[in-house]
Structure 1
Amino acid sequence: MRVFKETQRFDQWWLRLIVTAVIAVCGLSIANAFEIKDKDTVQFWIHLTLSILTILVLVYLLLFTKLETKIDEIGIHYAFWPFNLKSRLLRWRDIVSCTVRKYRPIAEYGGWGYRTGFTKNSGALNVKGNTGIQIEFKNGKKLLLGTQKEAEARRILTTYSEKINRQNNLI
């Protein structure tokens, strides 16, 4: 029994730079809020609360958002935390084809993250890069799971492609 496991996080340098810049702007906003003479005003508390919430949400998303993928003899398990609170399972019997391919994140899905494609039957869960595991289901829908382990993903899918073909021949 072979198993493929991968965990990806949003850890790109440019994303950290953007988050740092937003946090700095919110920090300045908090400092400006304390310069308001009458701190009992609604304006002060709204300003302060929104700035602190923005910082907390950005830090939370940067630290805790991750894409976990596992491929085994049962199928493909994935979770895009914190949006999927539990792992989802795509069983081999529901899959028509499964390949590793290069894709264009912006052109095909509008970027990275929890994405829907420009056609209603496609979607993507990706964190970075332009390589993914393209899954096509018997109901015509498609899902792309981003991967940074292209060679390892290809090897494991080759291992289980016989299982997919056997399931498809039973229909």
Structure 2
Amino acid sequence: MVEFKETQKMTQWWLWLLLAGVVGIWVWGITQQVILGQPFGNHPMSNTGLLVSSVFLAAIVAFFYSLTLRTNVNAQGIQLRYTPLTSTQLTWADIQKAEIIRYGFVGYGIRASPTYGTVYNAKGKTGLLLHKKSGEKFLLGTQHPKQLAQVVSQFVPTSSIAG
């Protein structure tokens, strides 16, 4: 059985630098105010508020760390899981056309695009654009376009996939 599997995570250096900067400022503020007893900022929040909001910040970092885009292509169709947000299954009978495209920046995560329909992207600018018979479109970001094109072309004969 021909199969394609890909797992992608958000590994953009600038995203993690931004998150590290926010966490660093927060840790500095907690150190200043809670440990050293000096107010952090002109209008400091309470120590309890500062510590409770730290839990919220940790949850945001954990969320970005857990974001994982998994694509599984097999004889039944394409299963897409964007953990922890959503999962969807597309059968080959629903797909009219598939093509590997190079696109500009469409954002990361799950997006609605007037050009590409529902976009699932973790990184990069290459993806599999699926045209469903219903008229809907799906764009699945990939880091392995040639391998994905090779597998998809076996199931969607009307594909315009050059890889």
Q: TM-score, normalised by structure 1?
A: 0.80
What is residue 148 of structure 1 aligned with on the other side? 143
Alpha-carbon distance between aligned partners in 2 of 1:26 and 1:51, rounded to the nearest angstrom: 8
CA contact (8 A) 1:33 1:48 kept: no
Alpha-carbon distance between aligned partners in 2 of 1:27 and 1:155, rounded to the nearest angstrom: 48
1:49 maps onto 2:52 in alignment: yes
CA contact (8 A) 1:26 1:52 kept: no
List aligned pairs for 1:1-171, cutoff 5 A. Answer: 1-34=1-34, 35=37, 43-54=46-57, 56-84=58-86, 87-105=87-105, 109=106, 111-118=107-114, 122-162=117-157
How far apart are 1:47 and its partner, in Å?
2.0
CA contact (8 A) 2:96 2:156 kept: no
**Which shows bigger deviation, 121-130 or 68-77?**
121-130
How many residue pairs get aligned? The number is 152
How far apart are 1:62 and its partner, in Å?
3.0
Normalized per residue, which structure has more helix? 1
Alpha-carbon distance between aligned partners in 2 of 1:118 and 1:112, rounded to the nearest angstrom: 16
Q: Which amino acid aligns with 2:80?
A: Y
Q: TM-score, normalised by structure 2?
A: 0.84
Alpha-carbon distance between aligned partners in 2 of 1:129 and 1:145, rounded to the nearest angstrom: 11
How far apart are 1:36 and its partner, in Å?
5.7
CA contact (8 A) 2:70 2:82 kept: yes
How far apart are 1:63 and its partner, in Å?
2.2
Alpha-carbon distance between aligned partners in 2 of 1:6 and 1:26, rounded to the nearest angstrom: 35
Alpha-carbon distance between aligned partners in 1 of 2:133 and 2:30, rounded to the nearest angstrom: 53
CA contact (8 A) 2:8 2:70 kept: yes
What is residue 42 of structure 2 aligned with on the other side? none
Alpha-carbon distance between aligned partners in 2 of 1:144 and 1:33, rounded to the nearest angstrom: 47
- Aligned residues: CA RMSD: 2.0
How far apart are 1:69 and its partner, in Å?
0.1
Alpha-carbon distance between aligned partners in 1 of 2:127 and 2:33, rounded to the nearest angstrom: 45
Alpha-carbon distance between aligned partners in 2 of 1:160 and 1:95, rounded to the nearest angstrom: 9
Q: Which amino acid aligns with 1:47?
A: L
How far apart are 1:59 and its partner, in Å?
2.6
Three-state SS of the structure 2 residue aligned to 1:159 is coil
Q: Which amino acid aligns with 2:71?
A: T
Alpha-carbon distance between aligned partners in 2 of 1:11 and 1:153, rounded to the nearest angstrom: 21
